[in-house]
Amino acid sequence: MHNKPKIIVFSGIDGSGKSTQLNLLYNELLTNYRVFISKIEYMPLNEMNKNLIKNLLIEFKSGIEILKQAMTLHTNDNKFDYILCDRYLMCYLAYAYMYGIEPIELIRKMLFFIKNPDLTLYFDIDVNLALNRIKERNSGINKHENYESLIKAKIGYEKLYKSFGNLEIIDANRSMDEINNSVKDTLIKRKLITHF
Ligand code: ADP
């Protein structure tokens, strides 16, 4: 392959299985392709409060995270066949909604330098099931990982995902293997790969 890398985004609330599915696909692609993983780190949106200056700094910091990912994607053009993204702009916006930040304004500010992914996988999961998986996870629970916050993040995703192209909704309430098969079928269906 010598074209631009295909960008595949893994999105969904915490505990929906993004990282798990990204790693499964990564290992499968790695036998035949050059694959790069790009992760947007957790954004400090939960530190936002009524202090305007602090909020601006946090928005700036979050903007930098997104910009850093966008730059990584630009610099890795031609070096890789696939770039798998753990979170992307849309995920940031869904979580911004959870913290009461107006996403439309942010979209307007940020969209111009963001590449359009070739595929955005949205892992749709029941919030209680996601919370159970988070509780069993080795890395512990973050401050925002509670029912109320995750419901808001889910609503944030549902409000936003229609405005992002190349979206596939994956039922993430199933077993890891079933989800992995759906992910691979989707890549084939969308002609992002011919076979595994
Ligand atoms: P995310 O990256 O979306 O936060 P993870 O991939 O880290 O989610 O998954 C959260 C936890 O749930 C992990 O401990 C993982 O092993 C487990 N898990 C992921 N997918 C499944 C699944 N389909 N069934 C059961 N447990 C799962």
Q: What is the mean pLDDT of each run of 10 residues along the chain (196 residues)?
A: 83 94 98 92 66 74 80 85 90 80 66 82 97 87 83 89 87 98 98 94
Cβ of 19 less than 6 Å from ligand 1 = yes
Residue whose structure tokens are 């869904």 = 94
Cβ of 12 less than 6 Å from ligand 1 = yes
- Domain residue ranges of the chain, discontinuous segments joined by +: 6-189
Ligand 1 atom with minimal separation from the 20 CA: 6
Ligand 1 centroid to 69 CA: how many Å? 23
pLDDT in tens, 54-64: 777 777 777 78
Q: What sign does the dihedral 98-100-104-108 (CA atoms) show?
A: negative
Query: What are the CA-CA distances from residue 195 to residues 83, 132, 141, 183 (Å)?
Result: 18, 34, 37, 12
Cβ of 1 less than 6 Å from ligand 1 = no
Q: Which CATH architecture has domain 6-189?
A: 3-Layer(aba) Sandwich (3.40)
Please say whether the beta carbons of 101 and 43 come within 8 A. Answer: no
